[in-house]
Amino acid sequence: MRAPDPVALELTERAAVMDWPTLAAAASTCTACPELAAARQHVVVGDVPVSGRPRLAIIGEAPGATEDETGRPFVGRSGALLDQLLGEAGLDRAETAVLNVVKCRPPGNRTPKSPEVARCSGWLRRQLDLLDPPAVLALGLSSAKWFLGPGTVLGQARGRAHEVDGRRVWVTYHPSAAIRFGPRGAPRAALVEDLATIAAEVGR
């Protein structure tokens, strides 16, 4: 068994006692992952509703180029499609929290490495504790694995709610997969279906 990452443990302990402004300020200057810190423009802490508890928390993998430039999550092509599909499902992005498992863009948009995910996990855990969303949507396999474990198979895990730490968690395809396979592809159809299911759930 791999020994726990001491940096990840320290960050988790620090984040666990922070309020939102303190967490956002601390995360914005985090250098726990030297490669990511050296290459990024911004730490993408996340978007949250201006007032009130979010109806839904949407969790992606990591920022892309546009997100790194702007400091906001899901504002590139994937974000535009996500906003469109949320609207079609009757979900208002302004009432959701939009976060990422990893807060800094990996160089070349590569998949985050395990130590990077571990070191960033404390920020996301505390964000979820503070926001206390009634439902969570994990977009893409990396996010799904964060909630459900490393053996997760996305196609098998989607389509139903999973109880994780007292929260109802759905997993589905990332909008980037929907773009890659096109408007008639299976990932987009699954994403549309899953958003409709979640909209019915959080609208109760």
Q: Can you read off the two tokens belonging to residue 72?
A: 């906001």
Please count the CA atoms within 13 angstroms of the CA of 172 that sit on its side-chain side.
24
Mean per-residue pLDDT of the chain: 95
For the stretch 174-198, pLDDT in tens is 999 999 999 999 999 999 999 999 9
**% of the chain beyond a pLDDT of 70:** 98
Strand 167-172 relative to strand 162-164, pairing: antiparallel
CA 37 to chain centre: 19
Q: Write down the domain spans for the chain.
A: 6-202
For the stretch 139-181, pLDDT in tens is 999 999 999 999 999 999 999 999 999 999 999 999 999 999 9
Handedness of CA 73, 76, 78, 81 (dihedral sign): positive
For the stretch 19-60, pLDDT in tens is 999 999 999 999 999 999 999 999 999 999 987 799 999 999
CA 179 to chain centre: 18
pTM over 0.85: yes
Give the DSSP per-residue string, 136-171.
EEEESHHHHHHHH-TT--HHHHTTS-EEETTEEEEE
Please count the CA atoms within 13 angstroms of the CA of 82 that sit on its side-chain side.
24
Architecture of the domain whose range is 6-202: 3-Layer(aba) Sandwich (3.40)
